[in-house]
Chain A
């Protein structure tokens, strides 16, 4: 066999392999008809600020487990309006509530007995949702790392945070 015949055979073999490759089995791709989804944070639906009266009403109910009276609501609204910085005003109002013996807050023992249940219940109570895993872990770590933290600190933080002011 001369060199010319050998080149022709190699050429034919190459063509044959290419054809085989083209008609060989292919992996099946399954399409399940799933649309692209934008993943948003769990609280992204809350885009409207509460009115001061809505905020006070919900805050009061969360801390006393009963509705605020209309007269008391009117007075609280005026008191809040009389201070420009609403974060400061809400802090003072809630500090006043915290001095009321009728305020309903779990004990520290209850919190330490089952921290996860406490955090989940606090999220549901104030933010009307479950915590994400990241949030839950942060809160549980916070309880572990801060021996002096009490349910009151959590309730204060949740009661005066931005998410609690929106719906």
Chain B
């Protein structure tokens, strides 16, 4: 064989091997459809109901309080100068008793908007603009007109697609919640009969696991040997389970392998050690639950290096009754997301190999309610008004165009259901997910929208 023939044949074999289907551990035949764009994805659900006026439109008080003061209070994410008057979103000036007087220093030298793609006018197009509905759409790519709390999504989550069709392990997939309220613990798998718990992602609410409840009931748990003690636990338990013949009746576990279970327990143990020593990483400012959750998320990323992590925030929901606190928490969410991105770049396995997506779960109303805060500023709810359906989406990472803006107020582009096909696209299973036929009709990969 001459050199030319050898190279030609090698190329054919290599190309063929990429497309050759193989059997996943789940028993499903998998053919890689497209090369992966990145090895890791982190999706931040900028939740709690974020108005366009205080985010991408950068109107500060001009869009809400009849005060003509504009400016950008999310300067890590967005390009734009901050407000110059009536600063109330920063850190409190305790000495002079001025709430939010000192803006938090930016973490990123280059805004995420400049590093990636911004879709400034995306629509949460269907269903009620409630937090759980919005979060459910984010993880499942479908809308739920009648779905209530305490109910898992009817359509599969992206975790299930990835575990079933891309062969991801359970510990490759994490849903991280800021709180247990609002049924957030139900976002890691759906009720769909062909997917469900068998293909679930792991879930953790770290401020609870490592907060007061976890300190009382988990911290300093007995350190059984994973090979000797746990082998006997599993043998005895396995025999008992085998004799419990009622099919399907089991403790709702998530099909972590014994090694993965050991790894999760060890993560919990080591994180408690850090808690005791005060060594949990936090953003430079960490005075609310969102920021502490993002700190724990970094601990989780460092430990597991998950392929997909979805973390939701919630503190901006104070906007129902306190506009000043809302502004402060919007500013802090920007700070926390920038910190998360910076820390991702400090994890060798994830650096330059992670795409981060940021999207609020829904917006808030244009019209205020009647509640005023200490600055005499009106509060805002989120009904089903058009303004509550206006959101943005941002994407940054390898293979994502930099400094690109797509869509406008006159010509909205993108839908809240786009994130699932986008993540599927990044991991090379977009066509399989489309073929499953369980996404909302308007859901499209953001890469296709570009």
CB-nearest residue of chain B to A41: B245
Q: How far is the CA of A98 from the CA of B218 in the complex (A)?
A: 11
CB-based nearest B residue for A153: B232
CB within 8 Å of B: which A3-52 residues? 41, 43-44, 46-47, 49
Interface size class of B (residues with CB under 8 A): 35 or more
Contacts of A166 in B (CB 8 A): 244, 246, 249
Could you tell me if A84 and B201 are in contact, using CB atoms closer than 8 angstroms? Answer: yes
Within 8 A of A (CB), among B159-178: 170, 175
Known contacts A41-B245, A92-B265, A166-B246, A85 near B202 by CB under 8 Å: yes
Q: What are 25 sample pairs from A and B whose C-beta atoms fall under 8 A apart?
A: A43-B245, A46-B244, A72-B217, A76-B213, A76-B216, A79-B216, A81-B180, A82-B205, A84-B204, A84-B254, A85-B264, A88-B253, A92-B265, A96-B219, A135-B239, A138-B239, A146-B232, A153-B229, A153-B232, A153-B236, A156-B236, A156-B237, A157-B235, A157-B237, A161-B244
Contact between A85 and B256 (Cβ–Cβ < 8 Å)?
yes
4 closest residue pairs by CB, A with B: A84-B203, A157-B236, A87-B253, A82-B208
CB distance from B425 to the nearest CB of A (A): 26
A-B contact count (CB 8 A): 161
Answer whether residue B133 sits at the interface, using C-beta atoms and an 8 A cutoff.
no
B241: chain A residues within 8 A (beta carbon): 161-163
Q: Are A88 and B264 in contact (CB under 8 A)?
A: yes
- Which of these binds chain A: B101-109, B220-228, B327-335, B365-373? B220-228
Q: Which residues on the A side are within 8 Å of B256 (C-beta)?
A: 85, 87-88
Q: Which residues of A contact B239 (CB under 8 A)?
A: 135, 138, 142
Residue numbers of B with Cβ under 8 A of A are 170, 175, 180, 185, 188, 200-206, 208-209, 212-214, 216-224, 228-229, 232-237, 239-241, 243-246, 249-254, 256, 261, 264-265, 268
List residues 147-166 of chain A with CB under 8 A from any CB of chain B: 148-149, 153-154, 156-158, 160-163, 165-166
Q: Which residues of B contact A99 (CB under 8 A)?
A: 220-222
Q: For residue A49, which residue of chain B has the nearest CB?
A: B249
Besides the known contacts A79-B213, A81-B180, A98-B221, 6 further A-B residue pairs in the complex with CB atoms under 8 A apart = A82-B205, A82-B209, A83-B264, A87-B253, A127-B240, A163-B241
Chain A: residues with Cβ within 8 Å of the partner, total of: 47
Contact A47 B233 (CB under 8 A): no
The A interface, classified by DSSP as helix, strand, loop or mixed, is helix
Whether B265 and A41, one on each chain, are in contact in the complex, defined by CB atoms closer than 8 angstroms, is: no
**Set of chain B residues within 8 Å of A93, measured between Cβ atoms:** 217-218, 221
Are B217 and A158 in contact, CB atoms less than 8 angstroms apart? no
Contact A92 to B221, CB < 8 A, known contacts A157-B236, A157-B240: yes
| Complex Cα spacing A44 to B204, Å | 33
- Give the Cβ gap from B121 to chain A, nearest Cβ, in Å: 34
Report A-chain residues with C-beta under 8 Å of the C-beta of B246.
Answer: 43-44, 46-47, 166
Residues of A within 8 A of B212 (CB): 75
Closest to A127 in B: B240
Q: Are B213 and A91 in contact (CB under 8 A)?
A: no
Q: Collect the chain A residues with CB atoms within 8 Å of residue B235's CB.
A: 142, 157
